[in-house]
Amino acid sequence: MYRIGKQFTFDAAHAVPAAVDERHCPPGLHGHTYTIGVVLAAEQVEPPGFVIDFAALNPFARHLNEVLDHRLLNDVLDQPPTHQAINGYLRRWLETFLVAPTGRVTLDAVSIQAPTLPGQGPLAEYEVTFEAAHRLPGLPIGHKCARIHGHSYRAAFRFDGTSRLPDACLAALNGYISTAFNGCYLNDSVPHAGPPTSENLARHLYEWACKELSLPDGTTITAARVSETASTWAEYQETTW
């Protein structure tokens, strides 16, 4: 199972009636900078290795900017604009205009706060950064990702069953990232991962960690996540949510 996520922001005002229980929200007319997290999921990626091109979310960003940003949300929604109501409004828009036309991608989550990696019980999360270049073959002419370009990447791993990984596991992770990813052209350094989309890199790192790390008894890897930018990420794990 693959998941991708992207964050958006907009600034707006609202007033929630006193009779409505809106926790952490002051009474009367006030405003927020809303941070919206959108998570999409798919069982398989499509060429060149996308759950969906992040550019497909541009109409959603335009909708936020044109309809919600710098507005009084009481004038936009047909019900008191609580966080729950705003969430439902955004979910319906995404289901109708983004998810339904694909026929294969599902809307995993819409949240006012950024989603986190799933997991239960004692958890350990480890993040490492690397600087790398890549290009994605098979994209339409003019697509910016078809050109050779680069990112400051973040790779995050989550493990169930422990609150801290052994030093040997951390050293192995750091060593592999340093050798195969950092300062590399990913098309050449990890060719067996497929076209180096974030989705394919996340799956490759998940499978590498499952195979190569000597984890303590009772500890399993839950997910691997790769971020190319501060507002986007892709994640892989073998079990479904």
For 204-230, what is each residue's pLDDT tens digit? 999 999 999 999 888 899 999 999 998
Evaluate if pTM is beyond 0.85.
no
Domains recognised in the chain with CATH numbers? 2-111 (3.30.479.10), 123-236 (3.30.479.10)
Q: Are the CB atoms for 157 and 173 separated by under 8 Å?
A: yes
Query: Six-digit token pair at 221?
Result: 């890897």
For 133-189, what is each residue's pLDDT tens digit? 999 999 998 999 999 999 999 999 999 887 788 899 999 999 999 999 999 999 999
Measured CA to CA, the distance from residue 135 to residue 144 in angstroms comes to 9
For 58-109, what is each residue's pLDDT tens digit? 999 999 999 999 999 999 999 989 888 999 999 999 999 999 999 899 999 9
Cα dihedral 191, 39, 143, 136 in deg (nearest 10): 0
Measured CA to CA, the distance from residue 106 to residue 66 in angstroms comes to 25
For 46-59, what is each residue's pLDDT tens digit? 999 999 999 999 99
